Amino acid sequence: MTRAVTFRRKRNFFVRHEKHHRFMHSPWAGGVILVAFAVLALILANIPQTAGVYHHLLESHLTVGFDHFRLSKPLEAWINDGLMVIFFFYVGLEIKREIIAGQLSGVRRAALPVAAAIGGMAVPALIYVLINRSGDFLSGWGIPMATDIAFAIGILSLLGNRVPVSLKVFLMALAVVDDLGGILVIAVFYSTDIQVGMLVAAAVVFVFMILLKRLNVYKMRYYLILSIVMWILFLYSGIHATIAGVLIALTIPSTPRFTKRYFSYKTRYYLRSFRRHDREGVQVLSNRKQLEDIEMVRLVATNAISPSQRLEYALHHVVSFFIMPVFALANAGVAISGFGDLRVLLEPLGMGIFLGLVVGKPLGVFLFSRLVVWLKWGELPQGATWAGVFGVSCLAGIGFTMSIFINNLAFADPATVSNGKIAILVASLAAVIVGFVFTRTMVKRKEKPED
Question: Is residue 237 a part of any domain in this protein?
Answer: no
Helices H / strands E in the chain, number of each:
20, 2
User: How far apart, in whole angstroms, are the C-alpha atoms of residue 157 and residue 154?
Assistant: 5
DSSP string, 393-410: HHHTT--HHHHHHHHHHH
User: How far apart, in whole angstroms, are the C-alpha atoms of residue 191 and residue 405?
Assistant: 13
Question: Is residue 268 a part of any domain in this protein?
Answer: yes
Judgement on whether residues 297 and 346 belong to the same structural domain of the protein: no
User: How far apart, in whole angstroms, are the C-alpha atoms of residue 44 and residue 39?
Assistant: 9
Which domain covers residue 376, as residue numbers? Answer: 31-66+107-190+338-450
User: What one-letter code names the amino acid at 19?
Assistant: K
Sign of CA dihedral 29, 77, 395, 105: negative
- DSSP-H helix ranges across 236-333: 242-251, 260-276, 288-303, 307-318, 324-331
Judgement on whether residues 278 and 369 belong to the same structural domain of the protein: no
Judgement on whether residues 153 and 282 belong to the same structural domain of the protein: no
Cβ atoms < 10 Å from Cβ of 138: 16
Question: Is residue 15 a part of any domain in this protein?
Answer: no
Question: Is residue 283 a part of any domain in this protein?
Answer: yes
Domain with 138 in it: what CATH number? 1.20.1530.10
Q: How many structural domains comprise the chain? A: 2
Judgement on whether residues 294 and 353 belong to the same structural domain of the protein: no
Question: Is residue 252 a part of any domain in this protein?
Answer: no
Are 435 and 407 a contacting pair, CB within 8 Å?
A: no
Residue 355 CA from chain centroid, whole number: 24
> Which of 303, 322, 354 is a domain's end point?
303
Judgement on whether residues 133 and 271 belong to the same structural domain of the protein: no
SS3 (DSSP) at 69: strand
Judgement on whether residues 376 and 291 belong to the same structural domain of the protein: no
61, containing H or E segment: strand 61-66
Judgement on whether residues 169 and 35 belong to the same structural domain of the protein: yes
Judgement on whether residues 291 and 414 belong to the same structural domain of the protein: no
User: How far apart, in whole angstroms, are the C-alpha atoms of residue 263 and residue 69?
Assistant: 46
| Tens digits of pLDDT across the chain (451 residues) | 455 555 455 455 444 545 555 555 565 677 778 888 888 988 998 888 888 888 888 888 888 776 667 777 888 888 888 888 898 898 888 888 888 877 777 777 888 889 999 999 999 999 999 999 887 899 999 999 988 877 787 777 777 767 777 788 888 888 888 888 888 888 888 877 788 889 899 999 999 999 999 998 888 999 999 999 999 898 888 887 778 888 999 999 999 989 889 999 999 999 998 888 888 777 877 778 888 888 999 999 989 999 999 999 889 888 888 988 898 888 888 877 665 567 888 899 999 999 999 999 999 999 999 999 999 888 888 778 888 889 889 989 988 888 998 998 889 898 899 999 999 999 999 998 998 888 877 765 554 444 4
Question: Is residue 320 a part of any domain in this protein?
Answer: no
Which pLDDT belongs to residue 39? 87
Give the angle 72-77-80 at the CA atoms, nearest 5°: 140
Question: Is residue 9 a part of any domain in this protein?
Answer: no
Which pLDDT belongs to residue 450? 43
Judgement on whether residues 284 and 361 belong to the same structural domain of the protein: no
Give the angle 150-154-158 at the CA atoms, nearest 5°: 175
User: How far apart, in whole angstroms, are the C-alpha atoms of residue 238 and residue 197?
Assistant: 11
SS3 (DSSP) at 65: strand
Judgement on whether residues 116 and 186 belong to the same structural domain of the protein: yes
Judgement on whether residues 185 and 287 belong to the same structural domain of the protein: no
Question: Is residue 328 a part of any domain in this protein?
Answer: no
Of the CA atoms within 13 Å of residue 152, those in its CB half-sphere come to 32
Note the residue count of the chain: 451
Judgement on whether residues 37 and 186 belong to the same structural domain of the protein: yes
Query: Residue-wise over 330-363: b if at least 16 C-beta within 10 A, else e?
Result: bbbbbebeeeeeeebbeebbbbbbbbbbbbbbbb
Residue 240 phi, psi (nearest 5)? -55, 135
SS3 (DSSP) at 75: helix
